[in-house]
Amino acid sequence: MATIRRALLSVTDKTGLAEFARGLAELGVQMLSTGGTARLLREAGLSVQDVAEVTGFPEMLDGRVKTIHPRIAAGVLAVRSKPEHMAALEAHGIPLIDMVVVNLYAFEQAAARAGVSLEELVENIDIGGPTLIRAAAKNWQDVAVVVSPEDYPRILAELRTAGNLSAATHFELAQKAFALTADYDAAISARLARITFEDHRPVDREEALPAVLRLRLPRRMSLRYGENPHQQAALYAAGAAGLAGAEQLQGKELSFNNLVDLDAAWQLILEFEAPASAIIKHTNPCGCAEAESLAESYRRAFEADPVSAFGGVLAFNRSLDEETASEIAKTFIEAIAAPDYTPEALAVLGRKKNLRLVRVSRATGDGLVIKSITGGVLAQTPDAETLDRARLEVKTERRPTEREWQALEFGWKVVKHVKSNAIVYAEPGRLLSAGAGQMSRVDAVKVGAMKAILPLAGSVLASDAFFPFPDGIEEAHKHGVTAVIQPGGSVRDDEVIAAANRLGLAMVFTGIRHFRH
């Protein structure tokens, strides 16, 4: 590759720029620059030529026009191996530019500000930057395009060692550059799509679902395989929030199924304010409890189904402590998600070398829920509805007792995270059993009772959707259920309510359904 003799630097994000430019100067690279970038470099004691000296024109139109000029574009786009290109540069006295160091106006930061005007958005759309980046990336064989400060150290290291940058490095930098401009244009398009004109003025529309869904997520991790060994898989993520941005602290490589189950556990555990534990097997809760201490919540959760808990994944809504870790260490667990771990807990769990531990940010974001189908994707807003006792309707002659209310509220939080058709047996602060993924609701009631290890007498029942017939209520009563919470909305609600009254059950309607497919 050609030796880098001249670089153009014009950046918004000035992180590490002075150090990078100093390194270039030590290698004999001449530097061109503009505006604030040139000022920063001169303040750092570096020699910089203004772009205006090359173009013969000053910066114009409040800085809108700086680098858009044939004498800059030609110096970037000229193909060194084409004699006619080089002759044209010589004829017009245009210098070659071998490196372009550019990043863009922070449009997304501006767009995220509350009450931002259309005029502010437009002023934060970079024009010259993307033009330079794309020009340099197009001519990647001859020009190195640098768009991220994180690349500064390795570029300097390679230049110092080899005297130039390899073709592989040039191409990798070009790939990153095109990805940046694509993301930038997508962000502008998505934000402007929310603006419409009403009465000849721009108005922001708060639409949950965009007209065009653009997904550009960098690959964060290649996985050994997908759900099964014959499938390929990878994790893609844009930020540090949630399970996708978790930090793995120990253990074997996370698998596709680990990540799916950990995310199910994490979503469930975020429902609770008190110290709580969740145990997940194949995305369904087999144990969940809250208590005054994390260790006690785990013991209570584990007691519900120790058999299914074997080989499961766990999530906690508190920093995992030594006492809880000691309880966990008594059985085989695949993976754990928690907001943090005490040093003592890490020491205990560190004895299980294969146990995967991940630290997860409690931030969840407000993104869409995406599912793939053949030929496309489905998108929906998150199921973020919470229960307000004051808005619930007691449909039976008997009202729930306070103990039953507590159990109903707990069970409703859990059933939201069980695959439909979903039934949960609960007591205050604890899941007793679940019937998940059945083709009929009465079968879900039966399966939940069949799997129960703890006594169900005096428990309550939570159902993610309405009971289409009284048979589900009648089956629950056989197992000692005293109260039921369900959305309501069946054409046979009156029959179901009558059955509950006949059996002496309390029944509450939420008006909210929690299907989970």
Cite the active site residues: 138, 282
Between the alpha carbon of residue 148 and those of residues 118, 154, 155, the distances in Å are 28, 11, 11
Tell me how many degrees the CA angle 78-80-82 measures, rounded to the nearest 5.
Answer: 90
Please report, as a single letter, which amino acid is at residue 218.
P
3-state secondary structure of 132: helix
| Among 257, 272, 397, CA closest to 334 | 257
> Whose structure tokens read 């008006």?
511
Q: What whole-number distance in Å separates Cα of residue 137 and Cα of residue 354?
A: 43
Q: Looking at 63-222, list the stretches that DSSP marks H as alpha helix, in order from N- to C-terminal side.
A: 70-77, 83-92, 107-112, 118-123, 128-138, 152-162, 167-192
- DSSP designation for 185: H
Q: By the 8 A CB rule, do 244 and 229 touch?
A: no
> Whose structure tokens read 């209520």?
473
Could you tell me how many helices (H) and strands (E) the chain has, helices first? 19, 23
| Among 205, 272, 24, CA closest to 288 | 272
Token representation of residue 289: 């409890």
Q: How many CB atoms lie within 10 A of CB 243?
A: 24
| Among 388, 461, 398, 467, CA closest to 424 | 461
Q: By the 8 A CB rule, do 333 and 280 touch?
A: no
**Torsion from C-alpha of 514, 272, 336, 332, nearest 10 degrees:** -80
Token representation of residue 217: 């997520």
**Torsion from C-alpha of 477, 479, 483, 489, nearest 10 degrees:** -60
Between the alpha carbon of residue 325 and those of residues 281, 317, 328, the distances in Å are 19, 14, 5
**Torsion from C-alpha of 272, 283, 252, 349, nearest 10 degrees:** 40
3-state secondary structure of 320: strand
Q: What whole-number distance in Å separates Cα of residue 90 and Cα of residue 88?
A: 5
